[in-house]
Amino acid sequence: NAGVTQTPKFQVLKTGQSMTLQCAQDMNHEYMSWYRQDPGMGLRLIHYSVGAGITDQGEVPNGYNVSRSTTEDFPLRLLSAAPSQTSVYFCASRLQSTGELFFGEGSRLTVL
Amino acid sequence: GENVEQHPSTLSVQEGDSAVIKCTYSDSASNYFPWYKQELGKRPQLIIDIRSNVGEKKDQRIAVTLNKTAKHFSLHITETQPEDSAVYFCAADNFNKFYFGSGTKLNVKP
């Protein structure tokens, strides 16, 4: 099992550009989620999904879109990047019946 | 929504000493409380967790206690080792939304 795979690992964008962070898991987990990590602020939930076709907002959803068309994939879209979205992004998944979140390696995004 | 506060933000101990990190939460509906360890440049990894129907859980040198009435939970690391140096995060699961504390940077001095 590869676990949770995120791409790209690094990305530099200009203000106003769009991009998609990819997240895939091969553990058949129902639950998938996206977090951003900023210095001194821990991890903050952006969006999450409890199954294919179901998504919901987290703590900081503004400026981000998600979709869940399959169990395996949960992409995060930035439609018009802003410098405030410079951060490290983590995707995580888990079985609904258990608690443990499994994290991807992270994606470092810089918006100039 | 839920609010999780974590203290201290930094903790420095001598090798072999114990370390305690404390978290409080605001919503009594939260029912699952994990602790994650994150080494520099790496992903967070679960080290221990506790559910709301349990008061204490131990795994070798690591233990977690939960006081539902006071809405606080704590991580205890005994006999600390240099490899315990990392940032530790507490979290609360509130209806599938995870709220994380701001982290504690633990430094274990040899």
pLDDT in tens, B30-44: 999 999 999 999 999
| The pLDDT of residue A4 | 97
Mutation target among A43, A44, A46, A54 for the B interface, most CBs of B within 10 A = A43
Query: pLDDT tier at B25 (50, 70, 90 boundaries)?
Result: very high
CB–CB contact A45 B99 (8 Å): yes
A75 CB neighbour count, 10 Å cutoff: 17
CB–CB contact A90 B103 (8 Å): no
Q: Which of B1, B6, B103 sits opposite A59 (nearest CB)?
A: B1
The one-character DSSP state at B83 is G
Q: Which two tokens stand for residue A90?
A: 């983590």
CA distances from B4 to A44, A47, A83, A93, B89 (A): 11, 18, 26, 21, 10
Q: Which of A33, A100, A106 sits opposite B49 (nearest CB)?
A: A100
Peptide bond into A8 cis (omega under 30): yes
Place of tokens 């305690």: B20
B11 to chain A, minimum CA–CA distance in Å? Answer: 14
| The pLDDT of residue A2 | 82
CB–CB contact B89 A104 (8 Å): no
Place of tokens 């802003």: A82
| The pLDDT of residue A99 | 82
**Residue A38 CB burial class (10 angstroms; 0-12, 13-18, ≥19):** middle
AA letter at A25: Q
| The pLDDT of residue A73 | 98
For residues B57 and B100, what is the distance between their CA atoms, to the nearest angstrom? 20
| The pLDDT of residue A96 | 78
| The pLDDT of residue A80 | 96
Q: Which A-chain residues 13-72 have CB contacts (< 8 A) with chain B? A: 31, 33, 35, 40-45, 48, 50, 56, 58-59
For residues A23 and A63, what is the distance between their CA atoms, to the nearest angstrom? 18
| The pLDDT of residue B12 | 98
CB–CB contact A43 B44 (8 Å): yes
Q: Which residues touch A20 (CB under 8 Å, ≥6 apart)?
A: A75, A76, A77, A78
Q: Which residues touch B39 (CB under 8 Å, ≥6 apart)?
A: B86, B87
Ranges of chain A whose pLDDT falls below 70: none
| The pLDDT of residue A86 | 97
Place of tokens 């068309």: A69
For residues B105 and B90, what is the distance between their CA atoms, to the nearest angstrom? 12
| The pLDDT of residue B1 | 84
| The pLDDT of residue B41 | 92
Mutation target among A96, A103, A105, A107 for the B interface, most CBs of B within 10 A = A103
